[in-house]
Amino acid sequence: MKNSFLHYLEVERGLSPNTITAYRRDIAKLELFVTGKRKTLASLTAGDLRDFLRDLHRHGLSLRSIARVSSAVRGLYRFAAAEGTIRIDPAEQIDSARLPKSLPRYLNLDEVDSLLEAPDTAMPEGLRDRAMLELLYATGLRVSELITLRIDDFNFDIGYLVCQGKGRKERVVPFGRSAKQWIERYLRGGRPSFVRRAPDAEDAMFLSRLGKAMTRQRFFQILKACGRTAGIRGALSPHVVRHSFATHLLERGADLRSLQLMLGHSNIGTTQIYTHVSRERLRRIYDSHHPRAKAPTK
């Protein structure tokens, strides 16, 4: 359970090695507590987790450190519940101080254009990479959803796909003409070359050069390389592209409920963080363009 969560943070969330180490260290505190309880991580209750946090306080850990550990534990159990490893998330019932949430990082439109144009589409691999990036930005899919897509999941006539999200819940997600164009180009000029190298190629939409289904690790490498080519500064991960999809839709008038459905959020509260991003942008626009936005000089 722990290793799967840390792998998700590294590959799908794109967190730095130092951050992964911090998560590992915080979860190790819980594992030590579990040993004393003679239980497993998967069998802990909300009461056990409260006892754990009280133990940290008794051992002199600062409130800020306890909040950080609590955040790591919440993330671990939220992930495990979404993956179906546990049936009930015990951390949902914990009341504890939380550190202020940072707003999600996202790309501006110029950065998105540069990222999408980074692959060398004269090569089969470049056609595949362009198709994956176009689809990721067009749909806001999680990387785990993107790499498990199969050809039969697409309806090109209407322009939508069916993906399996967290908790193995299926949802329908639309995609636009640009993504459709690049996927069709990949199907004509990229994917066949991968299939020829492997007669028993899988029916996954996105294949490696050996005809195997794309992996999270390989996609993450491709994204990083395209980010460097595009000259994008700062952290770049599949989640950043997902955040960009959500932010740009909201800025152009999409309603929160529709965005929630497209993102596959079970709770609309998760989607609402994007309203803060949009408000910040509106404030900047107002301050920059309204003639009376600034205080009078006299």
pLDDT by residue for the chain (298 residues), tens digit each? 889 999 888 888 888 888 899 999 999 999 998 888 788 898 888 888 888 888 887 788 887 888 889 889 999 998 998 888 888 888 887 765 444 455 578 899 999 999 999 999 999 999 999 999 999 999 999 999 999 999 999 999 999 999 887 767 788 899 999 999 999 999 999 999 998 877 666 789 999 988 888 999 999 999 999 999 999 988 899 999 999 999 898 888 888 888 888 888 877 777 777 766 666 666 666 677 656 566 555 5
- Residue of 74, 105, 212, 265 with catalytic role: 265
265 and 126 inside one domain? yes
Q: Determine whether 265 is an active site residue.
A: yes
Q: What is the pLDDT of residue 201?
A: 67
The answer to whether residue 100 is domain-embedded is: no
- Residue of 216, 242, 243, 248 with catalytic role: 242
- CB 216 within 8 Å of CB 12: yes
The answer to whether residue 60 is domain-embedded is: yes
256 and 143 inside one domain? yes
Collapsing DSSP to helix, strand or coil, 170 comes out as: strand
10 and 153 inside one domain? no
68 and 143 inside one domain? no
Q: Determine whether 212 is an active site residue.
A: no
The answer to whether residue 215 is domain-embedded is: yes
176 and 252 inside one domain? yes
76 and 212 inside one domain? no
CA distance 214 to 192: 15
Q: Determine whether 239 is an active site residue.
A: yes
The answer to whether residue 102 is domain-embedded is: no
- Residue of 128, 239, 243, 248 with catalytic role: 239
243 and 210 inside one domain? yes
- Residue of 13, 68, 128, 142 with catalytic role: 142
- Pick from 130, 117, 164: which is nearest to 145 by CA? 164
Residue type, 4: S
Strands 170-174 and 154-155, how do they pair? Answer: unpaired
The answer to whether residue 166 is domain-embedded is: yes
37 and 177 inside one domain? no
Please tell me whether the overall predicted TM-score, pTM, comes out greater than 0.75 for this model.
no
The pair phi, psi for residue 176, each rounded to 5°, is -95, -175
129 and 83 inside one domain? no
DSSP letter (8 states) at residue 99 = P
113 and 65 inside one domain? no
Q: Determine whether 142 is an active site residue.
A: yes
CA distance 223 to 137: 12
Dig out the tokens for 52 from the structure.
């754990």
Distances (CA, A) of 267 to 12, 50, 70, 254, 259: 20, 24, 20, 17, 11
Q: Determine whether 242 is an active site residue.
A: yes
Structural domain count of the chain: 2
DSSP 126-148: HHHHHHHHHHHHHH---HHHHHT
CA distance 289 to 253: 20
- Residue of 166, 171, 185, 224 with catalytic role: 166
Helix residue ranges, H only, the chain? 2-11, 17-37, 46-58, 63-83, 109-116, 124-139, 143-147, 177-189, 191-196, 216-230, 238-251, 256-263, 268-271, 273-289
190 and 229 inside one domain? yes
Dig out the tokens for 233 from the structure.
């500064």
The answer to whether residue 295 is domain-embedded is: no
Please give the distance of CA 166 from its chain centroid, rounded to a whole number: 11
Structural domain containing residue 153: 109-281
- CB 135 within 8 Å of CB 219: no
Distances (CA, A) of 137 to 28, 100, 247: 36, 28, 11
15 and 146 inside one domain? no
